[in-house]
Copies of this chain bind each other. A is one copy, B any other.
Amino acid sequence: MLKVRIQREDFDPQAEAQALTDGRTDVGAVVTFTGLCRDEGGMLAALELEHYPGMAEKELERIAEEASLRWPVQGIVMLHRYGKIAPGERIVMVAASAHHRSEAFCAAEFLMDFLKTSAPFWKRQHLGDGTSGGWVEAKGSDDEAAERWK
């Protein structure tokens, strides 16, 4: 089960994770990652997420398929929001289920590392004083995180 969705609205991480195990007795491990908007010490009023409709879905699907080829995962969920997101709100979640924990952990980390570096989303900051903090710059540490899977 590979599930990918891009939406403006919030999502329910537990309902998504629960769907990976409902009615099954062969799942041993579920790992979830949830990414939230931080207020950066009170400086940030909101993040605005822009994406490339069509390609963003395709990239998430490609990443999910790649993960399922690398590890014997039983299910994968990738959800990403777009639009304006306030501090404390969820931005993204990934989940992976498998027989064993190492496979679920690896797959979930892989999903996030490649989501960060290859899914067409861009963040812009809105500051507390009403001005734009500009576009968030890509981090070298994210490229390095993705590199380790090569």
Residues of A at the B interface (CB closer than 8 Å) are: 12-14, 17, 21, 24-39, 41, 87-88, 99, 101-102, 104-105, 108-109, 112, 141, 145
- Bound Cα distance A112, B14 (Å): 20
Copies of this chain held together in the complex: 2
12 intermolecular pairs with C-beta atoms under 8 Å apart: A17-B32, A17-B34, A21-B36, A25-B87, A26-B41, A28-B36, A29-B34, A30-B33, A30-B34, A31-B34, A102-B145, A105-B108
Main secondary structure of the interface of A (DSSP, over half): mixed
A26: min CB distance to chain B, Å: 6
For A145, the chain B residues whose CB sits under 8 A away are 102
Tell whether, in the assembled complex, residue B38 and residue A27 are in contact, meaning their CB atoms are under 8 Å apart. yes
Q: Which among B29, B33, B37, B108 is the interface contact of A36 at CB below 8 angstroms?
A: B29
- A128: shortest Cβ distance to chain B, in Å? 11
- Which 5 A-B pairs rank lowest in CB-CB distance, beginning with the nearest? A14-B14, A25-B87, A25-B39, A25-B88, A30-B34
With a 10 A CB-CB cut-off, give which of A21, A36, A108, A145 has the most chain B CB atoms: A36
